[in-house]
Amino acid sequence: MASAAVTSFIVFIPFLFLMLNSSAAHYIPCSESLVEIAQGKNISHCKKLTTLGVEFGWEVSKHDERQIDILVSKRLNNAEMMWLAWGVNPQVRPQMVGTRAIIGIRQLNGSAGAKTYNITADTKLGCRLQPSEIDVQVKNMSLDYVASFDYLTLHATIVLPSIYNISRLNHVWQVGYGAQGAEPAMHPTALQNFDSTETIDLGNGSAQHVHGVLNIIGWGTFLPAGVIIARYFPYPLELGAYRYHLHVACQIIGYNLGVVGWSIGLWLGQASKEYKFKVHRIFSIFIFTFTTLQVLALRWKPHKTDDYRKYWNMYHHFLGYALLAVISLNIFHGIDILKPDHSWKRAYVGILGVFGVIVTALEIFTWAKYLTEDKKPKTDAGPGNPKPGSGRAAAAAAAETQPPT
């Protein structure tokens, strides 16, 4: 029974990873209206982007994978004037500065047109953004208003240079509501306007949101798994050394993934100086500081023979449970900040639900075994009196016969 339970638990953790990863990678299909528009332009892939209500369609050429038809769309919602932008960025991370963009502007008189732009650091400082040549070949640019659906659509065929990878393409989108001729005015300063970037695989449409995924998997999945192993596996399953190694493995994996995600979060905070999320930041620093303290216990902790070891155990356990509560709270807070599709929150609620079922089952099993043993004759083993000949009894006997240190 013990080996089967261990195997099931080991298989369960990667399953959680795959479930969350597939949820984060899965894209939400476009609205029926845009699907109809896309089909008219022979574009078969279409997804809703994570912010600004923008939808994105694409079709990779069968003859040249670097030639891509793109379709970017946004419902006008009675706005008399709007500009719609989409672009690619060859840098390591998706961001506005360095983007090679196509911007389509719909003027107040209803006329519309699209041109290419280089988004530089000067643009971010407030300098005028004028049309310019870019290193991405762009053909058949057009900005159209589809009155039947109230959609503004930006369509073009692009040919990417070799420095771009369609399996990991950094793309950026934006929406604004004013322009002077071919010069778009500054877009709104809402959070979604500063978070309109992602890395996409044009092969399947999956997007990468590294910060959130790493923290949910690391701190939100592996750390609780390690706590469950430490609390329930020694008594009901009697795994001995295997239990300790599993506990340590989960804690180290969860800690490393969480720290990487936390570091990316710090970078994101520096890159988005327009917004400060003090509560999320304070919680994340608390989590990093005290998970580091917990992990250090792998090397620095009192010996079992030390008089104050039981007090250290109480502190270690209490801090671990408190961290799990703060981690869950901060993950939900981060999801509310990012405002991705609902699958993120559903996936994490599903993970917590599975953990809840496991904890409930193990708690019932633990108490059932304890009460069963407690009803046996006193010559038998109790919770504090191991069976003669058992592994725990042998360990206790060995400890008693060792000379004091």
Angstrom distance (rounded) from CA 328 to CA 340: 17
Backbone angles phi, psi at 275, to 5 degrees: -130, 135
3-state secondary structure of 204: coil
Number of Cβ within a 10 Å radius of residue 317: 13
Number of Cβ within a 10 Å radius of residue 400: 7
3-state secondary structure of 15: helix
Q: Could you give the residue ranges of the DSSP H alpha helices within 115-156?
A: 121-124
Backbone angles phi, psi at 48, to 5 degrees: -85, 130
* Residues annotated in a binding site: 211, 247, 280, 316
Q: How far is CA 101 from the centre of its chain?
A: 27
Tokens of 138: 């762009």
Host H or E run for residue 322: helix 309-338
* Residues annotated in a binding site for heme b: 211, 247, 280, 316
CA atoms within 13 A on the CB side of 34: 27
DSSP state of 385: B
Largest CA distance in the chain: 95
Between CA 112 and CA 119, with CA 113 as vertex, the angle to 5 degrees is: 125
Number of residues that make up the chain: 405
